[in-house]
Amino acid sequence: MKKSIEKARKEKNKIPRLHHPAKASLTGATKHAKRTPRNGPPKKTDSQVAETEKRFSQVWDTASDALLLTDPNGIVLEVNPAFCQLYGRSRDQLLGKPVTIALPKQMHSQAIADYKTFFHSEIVPAPLEAWIRRDDGTECFVESRFDFITEKNQRTALLSITRDLTARKQSEEQLKNQLRGLASLNSIANAIVHSASVEQLLEASLDIALDLTDLATGSVHLIGEEDNVPHMIAQRGFSPVKLKQATEMHTAWASQAAVRLLSESIIEGIPGEVGLVLTTEPQKQQAYVAIPIRTKTKLSGTLILVGTSLHLVNETDKARLTTIGYQLGVAIENFRLVEKTAEVKALRELDRLRSELIANVSHELRTPLGLIKVFCTTLMAKDVAFDRSARFEFLNDIDRETDKLEKIVSNLLDLSQLQNNRLRLDKRALDLGELITTVIDEMKFNLIQHKVVYEMPVEPLSVMADPQRLEQVLRNLIGNAVKYSPDGGTIKIQCRKENQQILVGVQDQGIGIPVDDLERIFERFYRVGNETTRRVGGVGLGLSVSRGIVEEHGGKIWAESSLGKGSTFYFTLPQVNTPRSSVE
């Protein structure tokens, strides 16, 4: 490289200089490029040449773009004043030096390798954009474009035209930063909308804040409503071992930050001041910034970001983080208000259900208890002598009313077990079609006014289920079909295989169910309000218990109905491939 520089200097001294003030010579390549072929137009006179060179020099000197002329070895032959001003160097400091003096260090080796290639090919270098650092330490963003000066079809010099794009670049970065900030605020808004809980919201918000500030370590703390102590909800980048060892101290640190944030909008400091070493790189100096999660009147938590720079975030990001803190504060308060509203609503619903339970159970118990009381009092009357047949009839009535009481109590117990996940099932392989046939046969006295139609395949419908519980479901559904079709009609019972499931349907031609009540009829204590249901009576537990039993078996239950034409109740159970011998 030194030999190339010396050779270039010697060649340069041989080139005659242009005669204009404040200018040294242009390269010989430049002058040769201006010559015309021998057979071309007539040569210009010396005065014309001088005038052309004068105009060219004026353009060179007054150009606003930085102009640089280099030879095939990458040695600077000429620069214009704009180039000297852009790079902060004098013309004498640049002439005869390698072109790398005007390039970022990371581009030096590649530039030297490319130069010879460019001069011995037809390749035109692509425009180059880069940040450059001047001798005074300031930086600017430039774009350079390139063209070649040729003589006799040979490239003899490279002309680079460089423009200062710092202002444009800064505007682009500013716009990009603004868009990034808006995107972060939009992400927080989306997280608020789609988060199902405060914890989920804070997890997402921590990631958004870290992404906004280009940091990897941070934590978010929620102040407990009961103990008023910050509790860590989420963390990123902390050393698990260090964090576990310093949990109490970390909580104290967060508490201290929370106290300061009651009066300050944002605080900065060093975790080491309170003895904390939390990151996985303890050898590096740590700093933190704490952002309040608050409303105008209440501090709900803190968002703490940790890094190795003394000033982690700029003023613009501080303003955005403060806005995020307010967004989260309002969202948390809304979450808590919704939770409190839901609790109040749940308590009201519980109170309503309790009242309905007392009213329904009291009504349903009063009738059989009253009848049992009447029958017992009659039997114990001393002034009347009943024969054996009469006494048996009274006892039979007492037995029937006692069964009603037992059913009510049994449904209440079943509901309690279902709600507490304590319902035990004695599952075994069984033929569901056979079970249905048995239940209908046992209920034949209840079905006297109705015509029963079966639709079942010949082959066994094998399920793994508790036979007593399934019988309970079938009796509830068939019993409802009888009760709510008081004028008789056909009760159609179907059972078939469908998509690896056994589907059972019980259809009646009764009063039907309004569309708005189809989902609610499976709620506990819920009863459709009409004259027929009030006359029939009931506690409103049968369907609720039936749903619980079916779901415990891995199936589902639903109803379809047409008001005034009847209803169909369906339920499904998973089919099992069991040999017939094990089912029988």
pLDDT in tens, the chain (584 residues): 444 444 444 444 443 343 333 343 444 444 444 444 445 556 667 777 778 888 888 888 889 999 999 888 888 999 999 999 988 888 998 899 888 877 777 777 777 777 777 777 777 888 888 888 887 888 889 998 988 888 888 888 889 899 999 888 888 888 888 888 888 888 888 888 888 888 899 999 999 999 888 888 888 888 888 877 778 888 888 766 666 655 555 566 666 666 666 666 777 766 555 444 455 555 555 777 888 888 878 888 888 888 877 667 888 888 888 888 888 988 888 888 888 888 888 778 777 766 766 666 665 666 677 778 888 888 888 777 778 888 888 888 888 778 777 776 776 777 677 767 777 888 899 999 899 999 888 888 888 888 989 888 888 888 999 998 898 899 889 988 888 888 888 999 999 998 889 999 999 988 888 888 888 888 876 777 665 555 555 656 788 888 888 998 999 999 999 888 899 999 999 988 755 444 44
Q: Where are the alpha helices (DSSP H) in 95-236?
A: 108-119, 166-194, 198-213
- 431 within 8 A of 583, measured Cβ to Cβ: yes
> Nearest Cα to 187, choosing from 205, 173, 210?
205
Instruction: Kindly report the backbone phi and psi dihedral angles of residue 364, in degrees, each rounded to the nearest multiple of 5, phi listed first.
Output: -70, -30
- The residues, any chain, with a CB within 8 Å of residue 583's CB and separated by 6 or more, are 429, 430, 431, 434, 460, 462
Q: Angle, to 10 degrees, between the axis of helix 432-442 and the axis of helix 467-483?
A: 50
Residues 321 and 266: their CA atoms lie apart, in Å, by: 9
Query: Alpha carbon of 211 to those of 136, 183, 204: distances in Å?
Result: 33, 11, 11
Which sign, positive or negative, has the C-alpha torsion 355, 360, 363, 367?
negative
CA 528, CA 79: separation in Å to the nearest integer? 95
Q: Helix, strand, or coil here: 196?
A: coil
Residues in the chain: 584
pLDDT for 5:
41
Which of 523, 559, 529, 526 lies closest to 544 in space, CA to CA?
523
Phi, then psi, of 532 in degrees rounded to 5? -65, -45
CB atoms within 10 A of CB 485: 21
Nearest-5° angle of CA 488, CA 508, CA 401? 65
Compute the CA torsion angle 355, 360, 363, 364 (nearest 10 deg): -150
Residue 579: closest CA among 467, 430, 432, 437 = 430
Task: Match 């309002």 to its residue by tokens.
Answer: 330
| 3-state SS assignment for residue 552 | helix
Residue 21: predicted pLDDT: 34
β-sheet bridge partners, residue 567 = 561
Please give the DSSP secondary-structure letter assigned to residue 413: H
Q: What is the DSSP letter of 41?
A: S
d(C-alpha 582, C-alpha 584), whole Å = 6
Backbone angles phi and psi of 443, in degrees to 5: -100, 15
Q: What is the pLDDT of residue 3?
A: 46
> Which residues neighbour 580 within 8 Å (Cβ) at sequence distance 6 or greater?
460
What span, in angstroms and rounded, lies between the C-alpha atoms of 508 and 531?
18
Query: To 10 degrees, what angle do helices 542-552 and 467-483 make?
Result: 150
Helix and strand element counts for the chain (H, E): 17, 17
- Cα–Cα–Cα angle for 548, 554, 556, nearest 5°? 60
**Count of Cβ atoms closer than 10 Å to residue 84 Cβ:** 16
User: How many CA atoms are closer than 13 Å to the CA of 364, on its beta-carbon side?
Assistant: 25
- What is the predicted pLDDT for the residue at 391? 81
pTM for the full predicted model: 0.47
Q: List the beta strands (DSSP E) in 103-174.
A: 128-133, 139-151, 154-164
